[in-house]
């Protein structure tokens, strides 16, 4: 299912991943769910649920709701995780190591097929039976010769190297980057970038912790 980026917001895609997570839990004890039930779990409105899902088609039955297994299958297809997607990791520092050695954090539909670094002391080191650290200078050769389509990368280098590393990836055919650095990449509009700045998320979390705490204190007074 192909959609132009302008047709759908980032927030809709984010909610879609949340729906999927919820549905996988609910199907342990239910076969079906309607938009009202799903909206209560999501803390949103049933209208929002219906609007989000209708962006991609009509999947429910009026008056009955959604078949959970079928809806999971549809959402997985929309997200492209109904098949295996090959991913490479750039940078084998603490973050890159954590992701590579705990590949289950990637979830369904993703497989790390290559890990790269520029540190000569790391290059050649065996990580798993199928992975070893490759020279980042050879990433283009790796992508070109891979038997699997590789157009997604996880960027886990230090901040000062992020822009140059990202540009090299693009030159070698990478179309999507999960940016684990704190650097705001400046890349062409046709390149998809999702930023995972843990520091920024903690700052956001701390703001709400402080302000929600203040609200509770005010209510007690």
Which pLDDT value is given to residue 221? 46
Smallest CA-to-CA distance from 105 within 178, 8, 187, 30 is with 178
Structural domains of the chain sorted by starting position, each given as residue range(s) with its CATH number in brackets: 5-79 (1.10.10.10), 89-196 (3.40.50.720)
With a threshold of 0.85, does the pTM exceed it?
A: yes
Tell whether the model's pLDDT for residue 217 goes beyond 70: no
CA angle (39 as vertex; 207, 52 as ends), nearest 5: 90
Tell whether the model's pLDDT for residue 29 goes beyond 50: yes
Tell whether the model's pLDDT for residue 165 goes beyond 50: yes
Which residue carries 């070698």 as its tokens? Answer: 172
46-62: per-residue pLDDT in tens? 999 999 998 888 777 77
- Summary mean pLDDT of the chain: 90
Backbone dihedral region of 94: left (phi > 0), alpha (psi from -120 to 50 degrees) or beta?
A: alpha
Which pLDDT band, with edges at 50, 70 and 90, does 64 fall under?
confident
Task: Give the range among 30-39, 51-60, 79-88 with minimum mean pLDDT.
Answer: 51-60
């Amino acid at each position: 299912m192909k959609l132009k980026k302008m047709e759908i917001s980032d927030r809709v895609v984010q909610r879609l991943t949340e729906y999927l997570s919820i549905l996988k839990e609910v199907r342990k004890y239910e076969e079906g769910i309607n938009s009202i039930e799903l909206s209560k779990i999501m803390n949103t409105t049933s209208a929002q649920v219906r609007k989000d899902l209708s962006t991609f088609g009509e999947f429910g039955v009026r008056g009955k709701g959604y078949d959970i297994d079928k809806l999971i299958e549809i959402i997985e297809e929309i997200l492209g995780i109904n098949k295996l997607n090959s991913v490479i990791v750039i940078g084998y520092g603490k973050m890159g190591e954590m992701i590579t050695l705990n590949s289950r954090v990637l979830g369904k539909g993703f497989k790390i097929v290559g890990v790269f670094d520029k540190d000569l002391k790391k290059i050649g080191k065996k990580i798993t039976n199928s992975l070893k650290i490759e020279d980042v200078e050879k990433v283009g050769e790796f992508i070109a010769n891979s038997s699997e389509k590789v157009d997604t990368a996880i960027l886990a280098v230090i901040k000062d190297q992020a822009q140059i590393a990202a540009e090299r990836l693009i030159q070698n055919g990478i179309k999507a980057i999960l940016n684990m650095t704190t650097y705001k990449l400046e890349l062409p509009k046709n390149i998809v970038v999702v930023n995972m700045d843990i520091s920024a998320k903690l700052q956001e979390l701390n703001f709400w912790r402080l302000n929600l705490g203040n609200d509770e204190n005010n209510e007690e007074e």
